[in-house]
Structure 1
Amino acid sequence: MRLTLVEGDIATQDVDAVVNAANRAMRGGLGVDGAIHAAGGPEVLADCVRRFPDGLATGSAGWTTAGRMPARWVIHVVGPNHAAGERDRGLLTSCYSGALAVADELGARSVAFPLVSAGVYAWPRDDAIRAAIDTLRATATDVDEVRLVAFGSTAYDEIATALQV
């Protein structure tokens, strides 16, 4: 597996699957979740409602169509909400390993990831970066390219530095 870094919008990535940092309700939200639902259109929400009528548990992963995005699938993960007191790092790392397991089930060869829980859910960014890199590197997968998508130059620089360590 090749781990790459790009700066940009996760919803525009030309990959087999994009990972969505979703909330437990699976009905759209803020940050990455809002961008994915906006770019994918109503098909993403309709598939979420159909496939996840009761939502998805924190730390879990599941997939839907990507609707109007270039990707074929969205792999939704529910990261822990650090701001609300969810501090179990294992829930955060399970989002990455779980998303790769779903990607393998789908036969996806390229997957784009955001930094899960590092935005609205306020997980400390340095630890979110380390959790992402360490888990992605340590997880066995058939995926050829895992792309970390940094939203903004500050995030890009921080991830690039961590990748060199």
Structure 2
Amino acid sequence: MRVQLVEGDITAQDVDAIVNAANSSLLGGGGVDGAIHRAGGPEILAACRALRESRYADGLPAGDAVATTAGRLSARWVIHTVGPVWSAHDDRSATLRSCYTRSIAIADEIGAETVAFPLVSSGAYGWPFDDAVRQALTALRGAETEVAEARLVLFGREAYAVAERVL
């Protein structure tokens, strides 16, 4: 799988699947989650509600992933994953890497060849940006998959420059 860094808006990526840094409720929120729900329209929320009513009554656990329609986005699917909240006392990096590897596994299940990822847990969940990039790249580079291309989409020139330095 080719892994590349891209500066831009994840909702505008021309890929088969977009990964959403969701909260465990799967019912929308702020940041990337809110942007994906707004751009994708009510179809995504309806699919997430159906998942909550069937398989994930208690919410999606951190480190796991699940796919829904992408609604009005140009992608075919949205893969929702829940990142861990940063802790200076507990090492949750395996859970963060699992967000990427589980999302890639779901991409394989649905037949996606191209996937765009946000930098999971680096926003409201407080994960230090440099380490979030390291964890993402480690997980993606180590994944066994049929996915041809994974994009790590960074919002803004500053974020992209930091990620390039880490790369």
Task: Please show how residues 122-137 of structure 1 align to structure 2 within 5 Å.
Answer: 122-137=126-141
The residue matched to 2:162 in structure 1 has which SS? helix
The residue matched to 1:52 in structure 2 has which SS? helix
Q: Which amino acid aligns with 1:125?
A: F
Q: 1:141 aligns with which of 123, 127, 145?
A: 145
Q: Which amino acid aligns with 1:102?
A: I
Task: Please show how residues 11-160 of structure 1 align to structure 2 within 5 Å.
Answer: 11-53=11-53, 54=57, 55-82=59-86, 87-160=91-164
Q: Distance in 1 between matches of 2:68 and 2:135?
A: 25
- Aligned sequence identity (%): 57
What do you get for the CA RMSD once the two structures are aligned?
1.5
Q: Distance in 1 between matches of 2:60 and 2:90?
A: 15
Q: CA deviation at 1:7?
A: 0.7
Q: Distance in 1 between matches of 2:52 and 2:66?
A: 9
CA offsets 1:8-40 (integer angstroms, 9 cap, x no match) = 110111100000000000000010000000000
Q: Which amino acid aligns with 1:150?
A: L
Runs of 4+ in 1 over 3 A off after TM superposition: 83-87
Q: Is the 8 A contact 1:80 1:86 kept in 2?
A: no
Q: Distance in 2 between matches of 1:120 and 1:126?
A: 15
CA offsets 1:120-140 (integer angstroms, 9 cap, x no match) = 111011110000001100111
Q: Is the 8 A contact 1:21 1:114 kept in 2?
A: yes
The residue matched to 2:108 in structure 1 has which SS? helix
Q: CA deviation at 1:52?
A: 2.8
Q: Distance in 1 between matches of 2:42 and 2:87?
A: 29
Structure 1 residue runs without a partner (length 5+) = none
Q: Number of aligned residue pairs: give it.
A: 163
- Give the structure-2-normalised TM-score: 0.94
The residue matched to 2:19 in structure 1 has which SS? strand
Kindly tell me: are residues 39 and 86 of structure 1, through their superposed partners in 2, closer, same or farther at Cα, counting changes over 3 Å? farther
CA offsets 1:56-101 (integer angstroms, 9 cap, x no match) = 0111100100000010000000000126987511110100000000
Q: Which amino acid aligns with 1:14?
A: D
Q: Which amino acid aligns with 2:21?
A: A
The residue matched to 2:21 in structure 1 has which SS? strand
Q: Distance in 2 between matches of 1:39 and 1:83?
A: 31
Q: Is the 8 A contact 1:8 1:150 kept in 2?
A: yes
Q: Distance in 1 between matches of 2:91 and 2:107?
A: 26
